[in-house]
Amino acid sequence: MTILVSLSSTNYYIVSGILVALVLLGIYLMSKVKFARLGNIISGFAVLGAIINTLIYYDIIDIWALYIYMTIGALIGTILALKIKMISMPQMIATLNGLGGLASMIVSGFAVKDTNALLDIFPYITAYLGFFIGLVTFVGSIIAGLKLQRVLPQKPIHFNGYQVILTITLAVFAASLFVPLFSYVNPWIILGAGLIIGTLFAIVFTMKIGGADMPIVISLLNSFSGVAGALSGLAILDPLLVSVGAVVGASGLLLTQIMCKAMNRSLLDILLGKTSMNSSSQPKEIVEYINEEAIIKNTRNPIDILKEAKSVIIVPGYGMAIAQAQALVKELQDYFTSNGASVKYAIHPVAGRMPGHMNVLLAEVDVDYDLLFEMDDINDDFKTTDAVLVIGANDVLNPTARTNPDTPIYGMPILNVDESKDIFIFNYDLNPGYSGVQNPIYNRKSGLHLFLGNAKDTLDKLMKELKS
């Protein structure tokens, strides 16, 4: 391949080094909310600089076709980024993951085509891996996006022979990677084989994953998109691509770890298709039937409790996102604040469909980020708080996770909502959440106030009653 960078091009490396430093500075600034925006802008200009640096160094600045392609991508990307609703952010992230994967797959694919696997072992292996991981990122993101958009069912799709298909796929993958090292194989055949295996692998892998596991999958695909880029960089020997790809890969890996920890799942289990809807541990045995009369035994009117509450915790979940109730939640917060009460939000790390999902939705309706608390910082406050409002959350506050080893959620860290004096539930119904495990909180004999239905309607009704 004629695009090998020669070591003598000192300038190119100096500029690349500076750009990598800028990217790292941008990420460093993201650790403070105040400077995060600046950090993002710095990273953006670093990438722009990288584009210009490349065009000049490789002397391709006058190839007009490139500008047409860039304009198309920039236009669509900009329009979508400006128009997309915050509620669709998980789909947007999936799209970005997927397109990053696609670009890496194509770049690596060209490198595979032009590499002699028998002689250039290193470029060939990195190029083929880049091609494969890019492809898996692309196809996996499409399926994840379709699931988030509810075109495909959110529930994991089970089918027999999953392990067998996975094993065969990986075996064929290994063969397609190593055989060309020992005897000549037409590059088109290598690429064709990779294309089929990668697509199959991505479909099998993502189909098995259900809605609540989405934060893990999205983070993992995020990591993949970076790794694919870095591998492409190794294949075409570009240090900038290797560096930035590595950073992105590390970021996704870290988020994946955080998500796995928050759900008490191992990454391997997810990859092997053991979803949190574990069919081997049917929740039937542990069902204690919901006591619908619990609410009657409350001695005080729930509206009075809320009116007199001096401290309030709001626990948002994916239900709030579906009902698009965040604006009403903010209204409720304003009501409590004007009433002299302190309001805090308790954010479980896996609430929603991607890392940080709830924070974005609440920031959109102008909730002060100082009021958003992570699980560990707020878990001790539940028992001393006057009123705890749960908006469309279930599994993340299910105490069964602490007590029953036979349930799929056992060991998952949860919000200590059950320690609260008065719990107000704004869920659609009392059915179990995604995990399929009944929530014993609903069996409480007192201090439980149920407002069932679409959170938008029930909160609206509540606001009217509070203000009357």
Catalytic residues: 395
Helix, strand, coil proportions of the chain in percent (round to 5)? 65, 5, 30
Cβ proximity to another protein: between 293 and 376 the closer is 376
Using CB under 8 A as the binding criterion, the count of chain residues that bind another protein stands at 112
Cβ proximity to another protein: between 229 and 447 the closer is 229
Q: Does 359 bind another protein (CB under 8 A)?
A: yes
Cβ proximity to another protein: between 14 and 33 the closer is 33
Cβ proximity to another protein: between 168 and 189 the closer is 189
Among 9, 14, 18, 41, binds another protein (CB under 8 A): 41
Cβ proximity to another protein: between 159 and 369 the closer is 369
Residues 119-138 that bind another protein (CB under 8 A): 122-123
Residue closest to 374 by CA, chosen among 412, 397, 347: 347
Three-state SS at 429: coil
Q: Does 249 bind another protein (CB under 8 A)?
A: yes
Three-state SS at 373: strand
Among 115, 169, 206, 232, binds another protein (CB under 8 A): 232
Residues 101-120 that bind another protein (CB under 8 A): 102-104, 106-107, 109-111
Which range binds another protein by CB under 8 A, 177-185, 231-239, 316-324, 380-388?
231-239
Which range binds another protein by CB under 8 A, 199-207, 287-295, 305-313, 346-354?
346-354
The 8 Å CB, 24+ separation contacts for 166-174 are 166/201, 166/204, 166/205, 166/272, 166/273, 169/197, 169/200, 169/201, 169/204, 170/201, 172/197, 173/132, 173/197, 173/198, 173/201
Residue closest to 339 by CA, chosen among 303, 307, 300, 304: 307
Cβ proximity to another protein: between 97 and 420 the closer is 97
Count of alpha carbons within 13 angstroms of residue 284, beta-carbon side: 3
Residues 369-408 that bind another protein (CB under 8 A): 369-370, 372, 374
Among 18, 76, 171, 181, binds another protein (CB under 8 A): 76
Which tokens sit at 231? Answer: 């591998």
Compute the least distance from the CB of residue 72 to another protein, in Å: 5
Compute the least distance from the CB of residue 279 to another protein, in Å: 31
The DSSP symbol for 281 reads S
Q: Does 452 bind another protein (CB under 8 A)?
A: no
Q: Does 229 bind another protein (CB under 8 A)?
A: yes
Largest CA distance in the chain: 82
Which range binds another protein by CB under 8 A, 19-27, 165-173, 273-281, 399-407?
19-27
Q: Does 55 bind another protein (CB under 8 A)?
A: yes
Q: Does 324 bind another protein (CB under 8 A)?
A: no
Compute the least distance from the CB of residue 69 to another protein, in Å: 4
CB 318, CB 353: distance < 8 Å? yes
Cβ proximity to another protein: between 222 and 407 the closer is 222
The DSSP bridge pattern shows strands 423-426 and 448-450 to be parallel
Q: Does 47 bind another protein (CB under 8 A)?
A: yes
415-431 in b/e form (b: 16+ CB < 10 A) is bbbbbbebbbbbbeebe
Q: Does 30 bind another protein (CB under 8 A)?
A: yes
Q: Does 363 bind another protein (CB under 8 A)?
A: yes
Among 14, 18, 56, 66, binds another protein (CB under 8 A): 66
The DSSP symbol for 61 reads T
CA distances from 162 to 2, 138, 205, 239 (A): 43, 21, 9, 39
Angle at 374 (CA atoms; ends 373, 380), nearest 5 degrees: 85
Which range binds another protein by CB under 8 A, 92-100, 166-174, 385-393, 407-415?
92-100
What whole-number distance in Å separates Cα of residue 389 and Cα of residue 366?
19
